[in-house]
Structure 1
């Protein structure tokens, strides 16, 4: 349990730091070509997204995301999903704190209070969490995970491109669902223990993980490029925590310690509410392209 918690916290730090750097890279690319790289619907096109991804800040942030992914995958195997995904989603708190230093943001009392709620909720979850359930799921569950992931990522990408500049909330929610599906896939993946490459490559969950990771990262980048990301951040937290946590409890056997179910429920609800409040009260929208880097004030979502 302790190793799993430390691993999830480390993943959260990597994701939070990476997101701040990715935000800086995305905004720098947007300032370099103000008004360019937009679709007819007002959203970023593939070219502008690629340019943002080629900035050094975004590259370093992406490397940290990959490290966070590996640590998060390990945490998903060691902890109940409702605990591992919630701790990882606390990267919003890491992002908020780092933004004070790296982005020059001054946090309000409401933001600090929200951060305190999240930290307290994580203590409640850690106290209430029992051992994780099994890693086995029916083969049909693996295929359903792949089908739903493909539908969400491909269909969601088309919808986001059609909505353009109005797609921040949808992009955030879909990226969160993608990262949530990734956590579920890692949990049920065959061929890990014991290591069996043929079984691993034959598992549909492996390809769901790849699609969810790539699709979630793309939608995450799009959300960073769209003006206000407050709603997108809140939606990402909900998508990344609520659905995987429910799947872990209902189908994978995750449970709290005997007699502590109420404490786990309270901790989970407070963690989600606190993370949403961090995003909501952190109302530092993206600046106009003419502003200088010192004026950059952006709250950032993360996987």
Structure 2
């Protein structure tokens, strides 16, 4: 249990740091696109185009963040096999706290009292969950359920990507939620994967759960990148927290036999509900108000140079940064 908790905490730290670095890279790329008066950075619906997302992914900040995500994935996969999913996924989702704290320094974002209170609620819920968690269940399931997991992952990522692209600039929270569901499917896939213990390569390669992990992981990373491009980093991450916590936690209990300590079931339920409610609150309070910026400024990047050249942070503690970055990535196609 202790090793699993430490592993989950380390995964959380990697994911939280990676999210902020990816946000920094995404917004740097968006400012460059705006400075060039590029009309290819957005779709007709106002969301980021595939090319702009690809350009965001090759900034050094985003690449370092991606490396941390892969490390976090490995640690999270180990935690998913050592702990009940409702505990491992929730502890990993505490990267929300790390994301919020680092975003103050790296993105110049000033958190409101409501956001800090919501983060405190999430941390308190994690303590309740850790106290109530019992032994993890088994990961042995019929192969048919592995096929269902693959189909669900394909539908989730394929359909979700289409919907997000159609919604454009309004899809930040939805993209974060869908990416979280993808990472949740990844966690379930890791838990049920055949050919791992003991290691047997033919069983591993023949398991549909392996391909569900790949689809859900890659698709989840893409949708998370989109969410970071068009919305609040804390709001997008909080929506991701809900997606990667709720469904895996429920499936772990109903499908995989995860359980709480005897007599602590109510504590586990309370902690789970409070954790999700706290994450939703952070998503709600963390979403920028979207104060309008003149279209000409958004399309020409007139508000960008001071930020892009490393100028001093604005006096409003980062609200300008949030509004400018969002205006840049959601400028209408000319």
Equivalent of 2:271, from 259, 267, 270? 267
Report the Cα offset of residue 169 of structure 1. 2.4
Report the Cα offset of residue 54 of structure 1. 0.5
Report the Cα offset of residue 237 of structure 1. 1.9
Whether 1:104 aligns to 2:118 is no
Inter-partner Cα distance in structure 2 for 1:276 and 1:233: 10
Inter-partner Cα distance in structure 2 for 1:98 and 1:285: 21
Whether 1:54 aligns to 2:55 is no
Question: What is the SS of the residue equivalent to 2:269?
Answer: helix
Between structure 1 and structure 2, the one with the greater Rg is 2
Paired residues, number: 299
Unaligned runs of 5+ in 2: 324-334
Inter-partner Cα distance in structure 2 for 1:207 and 1:285: 39
Partner of 1:20: 20
Inter-partner Cα distance in structure 2 for 1:96 and 1:38: 27
Inter-partner Cα distance in structure 2 for 1:207 and 1:164: 28
Report the Cα offset of residue 283 of structure 1. 4.5
- Give the 5 Å matches for 1:59-208: 59-208=63-212
Report the Cα offset of residue 284 of structure 1. 4.8
Task: Assess, with a 3 A threshold, how the Cα gap between structure 1 residues 228 and 108 changes in structure 2: closer, same or farther.
Answer: closer
**Contact 2:231 / 2:288 at 8 angstroms: preserved in 1?**
no
Partner of 2:228: 224
Decide which moves more: 113-122 or 173-182. 113-122
**Contact 1:16 / 1:95 at 8 angstroms: preserved in 2?**
yes
Unaligned runs of 5+ in 1: none
Normalising by structure 1, we get a TM-score of 0.93
Decide which moves more: 279-288 or 107-116. 279-288
Whether 1:282 aligns to 2:295 is no
Inter-partner Cα distance in structure 2 for 1:227 and 1:123: 29
Partner of 2:247: 243
Partner of 1:43: 47
Partner of 2:3: 3
**Contact 2:173 / 2:231 at 8 angstroms: preserved in 1?**
no
Report the Cα offset of residue 100 of structure 1. 2.1
Inter-partner Cα distance in structure 2 for 1:45 and 1:17: 25
Decide which moves more: 268-277 or 5-14. 268-277
Question: What is the SS of the residue equivalent to 1:33?
Answer: helix
User: Which digits, 9 at most, give the CA deviation of each residue in 1:148-177, with x for residues without a partner?
Assistant: 101111111122112222222221121111
**Contact 1:233 / 1:276 at 8 angstroms: preserved in 2?**
no
